[in-house]
A and B are shown apart, each in its own frame.
Chain A
Amino acid sequence: MLTKEQIAQRIAQELQDGYYVNLGIGIPTLVANYVPTGINVTLQSENGLLGMGPFPTEDEIDADLINAGKQTVTTLAGSVFFDSATSFAMIRSGRVDLTVLGAMEVNDKGDIANWKIPGKMVKGMGGAMDLVASAQNIIVAMQHTNRSGDSKLLSSLSLPVTGLGCVKKIVTNLCVIDITSRGFELKELAPGVSVEDVQNATEGKLVVEGVIPEIQF
């Protein structure tokens, strides 16, 4: 099984030099800690910052400089600020190369639900609907099952949808899955996890072909 940090570390292997990347809140944020050596990526924060730097030191803190999670951050050489309309122009026009998001549910057609649980307080979708509607490449980082042990990889969503047919890859604590026209294609297994474990935790259509390799770090 993978820890949250290892899920982030595996997703970081998907980064390519020159990528513009938008990282969601939670596990996706951790991806920034594992950018491979020799690869330069530029982080976009949808509240209006391209080239997001690390958290500030006590002396560097600036209340006017935050990320989309409302955390204090810093700039880097080459960073740029812009307004919210320009920010979503970047996103909708497909210039963000990779978006990493968390999810409550994903189905085997790549539909994602991550903004609303009926009957519970609805906080809102923030930028998630814009991102999933337009991103070229979306990777979901999440636990394979929810707290009650139910699968989050389904044949059809039970929760309100955020976007249709948009998720290409999922990295969970159990495995790496690609979503293709055939369904959830199992690509890699976490150490100590069997194909049967993944099958038992996946409600949607799982496609297993050949010997599935173990995730390498």
Chain B
Amino acid sequence: MNKVVKNADEAIHGIQDGMTIMLGGFGLCGIPENSISSLVKAGIKDLTCISNNAGVDDFGIGLMLQAKLVKKMISSYVGENAEFERQLLSGELEVELLPQGTLAERCRAAGSGIPAFYTPAGYGTEIAEGKETREFGGKQFIMEKAFESDFAIVKAWKGDTDGNLIFKATARNFNPMMAMAGKITIAEVEELVEPGELDPNFIHTPSIFVNRIFQGVDYEKRIEQRTISNKQ
């Protein structure tokens, strides 16, 4: 089966209004830039987006917010975005905030055949409202369920045409768990190579989890907080 598609426009085929999609990345680091552009171009609306953050005003998921494509965001932190705030306060946008580790584990569970799990994060807080709680070993936990998502879109550093992926540095973040969690997983990579060119010892995401792959173009990789030291 050929998993290689030409570009992001082709990769997002089948994503429809009202679907739930996962988007990898932490801040603007490791986000699927090409696919986001194509989603904006295609104008697919009423999306529920599962992503740790919501981009900034003019980059990342912020571009999808500008185009009013997002109905609901499921994230752990959504600062740094004025348009997000405007849509939230006006009631155009719904947001569900989750502890970051819970967000990651709900992705991992989804990709692991595990319907739910118990975590201590958020016990006794408003995050726990309406959720089952249970005591183990004298400590209280809340039950969190695996996500369900129609598509997962991830960004990797290198990939082969079979769909094996390697991530770079902290651009890995949520990408490997989301790659496992989509009903259909799309991977965009900076460098697409032939099978056998990646060392099997160092592959992060096995090909079995990836359905579509393409080599992206023109990565901007914008930096949110450019911090410099003056050391020699």
Nearest Cβ distance between residue B57 and chain A, in whole angstroms? Answer: 14
A84–B225 alpha-carbon span in the complex (Å): 20
Q: Is B159 an interface residue (CB 8 A)?
A: no
- Whether the pair B170, A49 counts as a contact (CB closer than 8 A) is yes
Name A residues whose Cβ lies closer than 8 Å to a Cβ of B.
45-49, 54-58, 61-73, 75, 81-85, 87-88, 91-92, 121-130, 133-134, 160-164
Question: Complex: how many Å from CA A195 to CA B69?
Answer: 57
Contact present for A83 and B229 (CB under 8 Å):
no
Instruction: Return chain B residues, CB-CB under 8 Å to A57.
Output: 228-231
Given contacts A125-B77, A130-B99, contact A56 B170 (CB under 8 A): no
Q: Given A83-B172, A84-B173, A85-B177, verify A130-B100 contact (CB < 8 Å).
A: yes
When the two chains form the complex, which single residue of A46, A75, A83 contacts B177, counting CB atoms closer than 8 Å?
A83
Chain B residues whose CB sits within 8 angstroms of the CB of A92 once the complex forms? 101, 119-121
Check if B125 is an interface residue, CB within 8 A of chain A.
yes
Cβ A162 vs Cβ B125 within 8 A: yes
Instruction: Say yes or no: B229 contacts A70, CB within 8 Å.
Output: no
A66-B170, A83-B104, A123-B78 given; 7 more Cβ-contact pairs under 8 Å: A121-B85, A124-B75, A124-B97, A125-B77, A127-B100, A129-B127, A133-B122
Is B162 an interface residue when CB atoms closer than 8 A count as contact?
Answer: no
From known contacts A54-B231, A72-B227, A85-B105, infer whether A164 and B123 are also in contact, taking CB-CB under 8 Å.
Answer: yes
Chain B's nearest CB lies how many Å from the CB of A191?
30
Min C-beta distance of B84 to chain A, whole Å: 9
Secondary structure dominating the interface of A: loop
Decide if B170 touches A129 in the complex (CB within 8 Å). no
Q: List 10 A-B contacts (CB under 8 A).
A: A63-B29, A64-B30, A64-B171, A72-B227, A83-B177, A92-B120, A125-B97, A129-B102, A130-B102, A133-B119
CB neighbors of A among B89-104 (8 A): 89, 95, 97, 99-104
Residues of chain B whose beta carbon lies under 8 Å from any beta carbon of chain A: 26-30, 52, 75-79, 85, 88-89, 95, 97, 99-105, 107-108, 119-127, 157, 167-177, 204, 221-231
Could you say which residues of chain A place their CB within 8 Å of the CB of B95?
Answer: 122
B223 in complex: contacting residue of A47, A61, A68, CB < 8 Å: A61
Please tell me which one of the listed residues A58, A62, A87 contacts residue B104 in the complex, with CB atoms under 8 A apart.
A87
Give chain A residues whose Cβ lies under 8 Å from the Cβ of B120: 92, 133-134
Q: Which residues of A contact B27 (CB under 8 A)?
A: 47, 66, 70
CA separation between A53 and B27, bound complex, in Å? 19
Give the docked Cα–Cα distance between A72 and B78 (Å). 19
Bound-state Cα–Cα, A128 to B227, Å: 23
Cα A64 to Cα B25 with chains together (Å): 10
Closest to B30 in A: A64
> Measured between alpha carbons, how far is A134 from B101 in the docked complex, in Å?
11
Top-9 shortest CB links A-B: A88-B101, A130-B101, A63-B221, A123-B79, A129-B99, A84-B104, A55-B229, A124-B77, A133-B120
How far does the Cβ of A157 sit from chain B's closest Cβ, in whole Å?
11
Q: Tell whether, in the assembled complex, residue A161 and residue B124 are in contact, meaning their CB atoms are under 8 Å apart.
A: yes
Residues of A near B97 (CB, < 8 A) are: 122, 124-125
Measured between beta carbons, the chain B residues less than 8 angstroms from A121 are 85, 88-89
B228: A residues at CB distance < 8 A: 55-58, 61, 72
Q: Cβ of B169: which chain A residues have Cβ within 8 Å of it?
A: 49, 62, 64-65, 75, 81
